[in-house]
């Protein structure tokens, strides 16, 4: 029941109409009997959107594309990992201050840890954008070594220099082996011109044991389908989304998030 005491949370981004976060967080509030609601705000002008959040008493926000970097200008206190990654995906508003966090890297770590240890493992990460940076931060923090593969070699080189990582161009080096292969690009995503495609050569996939994709539409991407057929361990794109949301919920409510409920809300939808 929404009343005068209902607390307001939400997501700001553009576009946000397909976001699964409202479903995930509202199901969690309901399960724990918390009088709060989580809405999607389609924001193009970040400056205007942020002006009223303290005065309106908004308690927390998720921040998504294209605002994760620019939002940092409006945050009073930025957490160390978010600063290192250079992106904030979570705002917590407390005592008239805006705190900024990044839970994407934590989401990736928790998703990976369901299937593998990270310390001492070798991870090959495809892509060198914002998602890749957050994931590499997590891998590095947990003691995995990293090799970055990217279409633009310059971007791979630049990102690799932060993590003492190796790098190469996409499909340039077939003799790279490792424990974990992670796709952070949109290759294979429904509705893109790479729909149905693999991010790397099919044979390359068997050089690894655990294959993770951050694309969740379709849930079984061509990469994960191929990995599954090869008998490899797979991690679908909803796992990282789920766990970054779980960490947000924990920050906002300081309660143990209802993992099963949040998970069900996502998988039922897809
Ligand atoms: P995100 O924040 O989701 O990581 P991003 O910062 O725009 O998005 O980064 C997208 C990444 O996916 C980049 O590494 C990009 O490669 P380039 O640096 O060469 O542009 C990669 N990417 C996206 N679409 C791709 C495609 N069709 N083929 C190869 N790489 C692609």
Spans of all domains in the chain: 7-102+244-269, 106-235
Query: Do the domains 7-102+244-269 and 106-235 sit in the same CATH topology, yes or no?
Result: yes
What is the per-residue pLDDT for 1? 85
Range 7-102+244-269 has CATH code 3.40.50.10860: yes
Residue with the nearest Cα to atom 15 of ligand 1? 127
Helices (H), strands (E): how many in the chain?
Answer: 9, 12
Residue whose CB lies within 8 A of the most ligand 1 atoms, among 185, 187, 188, 191, for a mutation test: 185
* Distance of alpha carbon 263 from alpha carbon 238, whole angstroms: 9
**To test ligand 1's pocket by mutation, which of 127, 135, 156, 159 has the most ligand atoms within 8 angstroms of CB?**
127
Pocket of ligand 1 contains residue 188 by CB under 6 Å: no
Taking the centre of ligand 1 as the mean of its atom positions, its distance from the CA of residue 177, in whole angstroms, is 22
Ligand 1: which residue has its CA nearest to atom 9?
129
> Residue ranges of the chain with pLDDT lower than 70?
none
Token output for 152: 């633009």
Alpha carbon distance 120, 132 (integer Å): 19
CB of 32 closer than 8 Å to CB of 256: no
**Strands in the chain per DSSP E:** 7-13, 36-42, 60-63, 77-78, 90-94, 97-101, 122-126, 145-150, 166-169, 180-183, 210-213, 233-235
Residues 136 and 162: their CA atoms lie apart, in Å, by 9
d(Cα 96, Cα 54) in Å, to the nearest integer?
Answer: 6
Could you tell me which residues come within 8 angstroms of residue 260 by beta carbon, excluding any fewer than 6 positions away? none
Which atom of ligand 1 is nearest to 126's Cα?
Answer: 14
pLDDT of residue 173: 80
Catalytic-role residue among 59, 68, 133, 225: 68
Cβ-based neighbours of 201, under 8 Å, separated by 6 or more: 171, 174
Supply the pLDDT for residue 174. Answer: 85
| Separation CA 50–CA 211 (nearest Å) | 38
For the record, the structure tokens of 235 come out as 């991690």
- What is the phi-psi region of residue 248: left when phi exceeds 0, alpha when psi lies from -120 to 50, beta otherwise? alpha
Widest Cα–Cα separation across the chain: 61
Closest atom of ligand 1 to 185 CA is: 12
Superfamily of domain 106-235: NAD(P)-binding Rossmann-like Domain (3.40.50.720)
264 belongs to the catalytic site: no
Q: Chain-centre distance of CA 223, in angstroms?
A: 18
Cα separation, 270 vs 264, in Å, equals 10
**Do 210 and 112 form a contact (C-beta atoms < 8 A)?**
yes
Protein residue closest via CA to atom 12 of ligand 1:
185
What is the CA(171)–ligand 1 centre distance, in A?
14
């Amino acid at each position: 029941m929404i009343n005068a005491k209902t607390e307001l949370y939400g997501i700001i981004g553009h576009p946000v109409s397909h976001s699964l976060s409202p479903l995930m967080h509202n199901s969690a509030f309901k399960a724990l009997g918390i009088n709060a609601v989580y809405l999607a705000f389609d924001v193009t002008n970040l400056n205007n959107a942020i002006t009223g959040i303290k005065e309106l008493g908004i308690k927390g926000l998720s921040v998504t594309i294209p605002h994760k970097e620019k939002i940092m200008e409006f945050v009073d206190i930025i957490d160390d990992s978010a600063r290192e990654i250079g992106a904030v995906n979570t705002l917590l508003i407390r005592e008239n201050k805006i705190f900024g966090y990044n839970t994407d890297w934590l989401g990736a770590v928790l998703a990976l840890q369901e299937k593998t240890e990270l310390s001492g493992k070798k991870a090959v990460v495809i892509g060198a954008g914002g998602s890749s940076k957050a994931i590499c931060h997590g891998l590095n923090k947990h003691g995995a070594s990293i090799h970055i593969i990217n279409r633009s070699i310059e971007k791979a080189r630049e990102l690799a220099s932060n993590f003492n990582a190796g790098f190469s161009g996409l499909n340039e080096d077939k003799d790279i082996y490792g424990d974990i292969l992670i796709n952070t690009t949109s290759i294979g995503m429904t509705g893109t011109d790479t729909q149905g495609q693999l991010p790397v050569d099919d044979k390359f996939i068997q050089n690894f044991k655990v294959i993770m994709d951050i694309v969740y539409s379709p849930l079984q991407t061509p990469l994960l389908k191929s990995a599954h057929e090869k008998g490899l361990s797979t991690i679908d794109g909803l796992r990282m989304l789920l766990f970054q949301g779980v960490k947000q919920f924990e920050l906002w409510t300081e309660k143990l998030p209802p993992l099963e409920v949040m998970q069900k809300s996502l998988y039922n939808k897809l």
